[in-house]
Amino acid sequence: MIVVARHRAELSIALAIAGLGLVLAIRAPGFFVAGNLLDVLLATLPVLIAAIGATLVILAGEIDISVGSIFAVCSVTAGVLAVAGVPLPLVVLIAPLVGALLGAINGALVAWLSLPSIVVTLATMVAWRDALRWITQGAWVQGLPAGFQWLGLSQASYPVAALIVTAGLALAILRGLTQVPAGRAIYATGSNAEAARLAGIDTRRVRFWTFAAAGALAGLAALLNAARFSQIPPNTGLGLEMQVIAAVVVGGAAITGGRGSLAGTILGVVLLGMLGPALTFLGVSASWERAFQGAIILVAVGVDALRARRVTTMVPRREPARV
């Protein structure tokens, strides 16, 4: 029973996914054809990786809306380098590094200048996006070398490799968040930064590194996304920040930090990632996808708020009025 109570948020999304799967199995069994599932998987993995980064940032009590722009910069950088003949292993390494660097800029501004993260990442979101538009003049990266697609693997082995890498990464961070002191530090910082600081945690370092990690993960996501196509548009990753933040919130995390789990985020990504293709298969117009997404977010947040209210009526909490 305790297990059920502690993972109620995760369980309810799992149920929603199962419900959606059931509807699909009855109304549109075509959804479960291997080819389609593979497409959904390949499209979802990059979002999942970016969402892991968003989870870290949100748990630490911050927000990163520049993830889509970092994603685009990394995509284009990887593509340009590959076209210029840089060896593929090096490209695979550089994309996350560029992401980490851009994330570190966010992190440094938030952590050491104490700027609000929503403002910092709004600024960098616009800056990177427009810098990219200016440099590429809107041109797509074309003429990628033959090995770039599927990152040198075959079309059959790439999804397996991508899934293993993503799953390994997710598992490592999942365990790390609860069992490594650094993970605890993220939760403590997001929940009560002052208490964390007094407990000897360097909260500025925590903030810096979560942003840097989120950037690196956005770079990796960009790589896995670019590998699916033969060319790279400079406006790639537009709206990615909304997708990943939505997944984190649907996954039961508190947008104010300190509460949530990576398992919830993963389920959130799966649910929201299934939604678009599912609607297509069920014959619902694609224009409804966003509306359904919004409804899911509202339901998730609403349920959470109702539950929180039940808890807080038993534990009254007064915040001090003085600043």
Partner 1 sequence: MLTATAIRKSYAGVRALKGVSFDLAPGEVHALVGENGAGKSTLIKIITGAVRADDGALEVDDEAVDLARLTPARARELGIAVIYQQPALFPDLTVSENIALTLEHGGAWRRIDWRARTDRARDLLARAGAAFDPDRLAGSLSMPEQQIVEIARAIGAGARVILMDEPTASLTDREVDRLFDVVRTLRETGTGIIYISHRLDEVFTLADRVTILRDGETVMTAPRGAVTRDEVVRHMAGRELATVFPKRAVTPGAVALDVRGLTSTTAGVFDVSFTVRRGEILGLAGLVGSGRTELAELIFGLRRPDRGQILIDGQPVTIDRPADAIAAGLAYVPEDRRRHGVVLEMPIAANTSLANLAAVSRHGLVQASRERALAERFRQDLQIKASSVVANAGTLSGGNQQKVALARWLATAPAILILDEPTQGVDVGAKAEIHGVMQAMVERGMAVIMISSELPEILGMSDRIAVMREGTICAIVDRADATPERILALALARPAAEATA
Residues that bind partner 1 (CB under 8 A): 2, 6, 175, 178-181, 184, 187-188, 191-192, 194-202, 254, 258-259, 311, 313-318, 320-323
CB of 25 to partner 1, least distance (A): 37
Query: Would you say 2 or 146 has its CB closer to partner 1?
Result: 2
Query: Would you say 50 or 262 has its CB closer to partner 1?
Result: 262
CB of 259 to partner 1, least distance (A): 5
Residues 219-238 as b or e (16 or more Cβ within 10 Å = b): bbbbbbbbbbbeebbbebbe
CB of 61 to partner 1, least distance (A): 11
Query: Would you say 84 or 314 has its CB closer to partner 1?
Result: 314
CB of 244 to partner 1, least distance (A): 22
- Distance from C-alpha of 218 to C-alpha of 224, rounded to nearest angstrom: 10
CB of 253 to partner 1, least distance (A): 11
Q: What is the Cα 4 distance to its own chain's centre?
A: 26
CB of 7 to partner 1, least distance (A): 13
CB of 199 to partner 1, least distance (A): 4
Query: Would you say 178 or 231 has its CB closer to partner 1?
Result: 178
CB of 173 to partner 1, least distance (A): 13
Secondary structure of the chain in the HEC alphabet?
CHHHHHCHHHHHHHHHHHHHHHHHHHHCHHHHCHHHHHHHHHHHHHHHHHHHHHHHHHHCCCCCCCHHHHHHHHHHHHHHHHHCCCCHHHHHHHHHHHHHHHHHHHHHHHHHCCCCHHHHHHHHHHHHHHHHHHHHCCCCECCCCCCCHHHHCCCCHHHHHHHHHHHHHHHHHHHHHHHCHHHHHHHHHHHCHHHHHHCCCCHHHHHHHHHHHHHHHHHHHHHHHHCCCCCECCCCCCCHHHHHHHHHHHCCCCCCCCCCCHHHHHHHHHHHHHHHHHHHHCCCCHHHHHHHHHHHHHHHHHHHHHHHHHHHHHCCCCCCCCC
Query: Would you say 142 or 179 has its CB closer to partner 1?
Result: 179
Torsion of CA 187, 208, 249, 71, to 10 degrees: -150
